[in-house]
Amino acid sequence: MNTSRDYFDPEVLSRLKGLGLRARLIVEGYVSGVHRSPMHGFSVEFAEHREYAPGDDLRYLDWKVYGRSDKFYLKQFEEETNLACHLVLDVSESMTYRGPAGASAAEADGPNGSARSARGVSPMTKLEYAQTVSAALTYLVLHQQDCVALATFDDGLRSILGPSNNPSRLQQFTEMMEAVEPRRKTAIAPVLHELAQRWTRRGIVIVLSDFFDSVDTLLEGLKHLRYRRQEVILFHVLDRAELAFPFDGAIRFQGLEQGAELSVESRALRKAYLREFDEYLRQLRFGCRAAGIDYALMPTDQPVDVALSSYLAARHARGFRRSGRPAT
């Protein structure tokens, strides 16, 4: 018998029909754990603590800090209005990739060099994984009674929904995802520039993509969002095979967005590929950090609840550090 925890596994989630069901199971399981942990969602957090002074409103005393430090501190909030969470999802053809499962899953299959999987394939494509994460975030933000905006893109902006906290938003998201037909290349930067002009309300922008584009132009688009005072988060969705290059023997690769084919001896290529890919990841992470942008790597073989809760816990911890809470 499956427990609710089982449904967080990517392989189980891939068999569930309907993003709404996936989202509900993920978030209900996540929310049930909030009472046992310091993790919280995306609602506006306090900006800083300050010491209590006679006459201050006692409603804002932080009793947890008092319990640890025996000193009275008040929470000061940046704003009390509803959060606007903007989800931006890459639906280009490269997102349809699903690689072999495991670090040594692929092996040569005959003289033509095609590959077969020794232990099956990853449970979800990158697009399916990103859709599931997006649906869970939509459900979570609506659960907080905050607003969600949605946009899909490839080499241009394909569909967009403005901010709303209407419960029907999850159904609208599902319908948008069902209409997706990945057939185009990726061009992220122009889309980010356009969204920076469209979304004038300050909030959080979460971009879900494999980010296979020029790092320099990508960062320029992200900086435009930051210039518009948006908080920006990158969820970097990658297949494990893209990170580990688990291929062995003669392999024929076919480009998803270019359509070209390349036959290679994978063992000779592996070292150079990993060196280049690691450098690409380093540049992207460094650029995000320098621009004040959150970056989270999300391999598609990682359970969705683990990916989300790990990020939200880290986000919450960073909020405490920024707040000036006394060390305990």
pLDDT digits (tens, 9 = 90+) for 223-255: 999 999 899 999 999 999 999 988 887 776 766
Both tokens assigned to 188: 């992220």
Residues 6+ away with beta carbon under 8 Å from 315: 294
Average pLDDT on 157-182 reads: 88
pLDDT for the residue 27: 55
Task: Please write the tens of the pLDDT for every residue from 78-111.
Answer: 444 467 899 999 999 999 999 886 543 333 333 3
Mean pLDDT of all residues in 158-183: 87
Q: What is the rounded average pLDDT of the residues 101-126? A: 47
Average pLDDT taken over every residue of the chain: 76
pLDDT of amino acid 110: 33
Q: What CA–CA distance (Å, rounded) separates 242 from 98?
A: 10
* In the predicted structure, residue 214 carries a pLDDT above the cut 90: yes
Could you give the residue ranges of the DSSP H alpha helices within the chain? 10-13, 19-34, 63-69, 126-143, 169-178, 188-198, 215-227, 240-244, 266-290, 304-323
Judge whether residue 181 has pLDDT over 50: yes
- Please check whether residue 13 is in contact with residue 302, taking contact to mean a CB–CB distance below 8 angstroms: no
- Given pLDDT bands bounded at 50, 70 and 90, which one contains residue 319? low
How far is residue 249's CA from residue 57's CA, in Å, rounded to a whole number? 69
List the domain boundaries for the chain. 4-32+81-314, 45-77
Classify domain 4-32+81-314 by CATH architecture. 3-Layer(aba) Sandwich (3.40)
The predicted structure's pLDDT at residue 268 = 80
pLDDT at position 86: 94
Kind and range of the H or E run holding 264 = strand 261-265
pLDDT at 74: 66
Residue 34 has pLDDT above 70, yes or no: no
Flag whether pLDDT at 276 surpasses 50. yes
pLDDT value at residue 116: 33
The whole-number pLDDT of residue 258 equals 61
In the chain, % of residues over pLDDT 90: 35
Q: Quick one: average pLDDT of 135-158?
A: 88
The count of C-alpha atoms lying within 13 angstroms of the C-alpha of 313, restricted to the half-sphere facing its C-beta, is 13
* pLDDT of res. 120: 45
Average pLDDT of the segment spanning 164-187:
86
| Confidence (pLDDT) at 108 | 33
| Structure confidence at residue 327 (pLDDT) | 37
Residue type, 150: L
Most confidently predicted of 25-29, 266-270, 294-298:
294-298
The band of 1, judged by pLDDT with boundaries at 50, 70 and 90, is very low
Quick check: pTM over 0.85? Answer: no
pLDDT confidence tier of residue 56, bands split at 50, 70 and 90: low
pLDDT at 217 over 60: yes
Between 254 and 170, residue with greater pLDDT = 170
Rounded (10°) angle between helices 266-290 and 215-227: 20
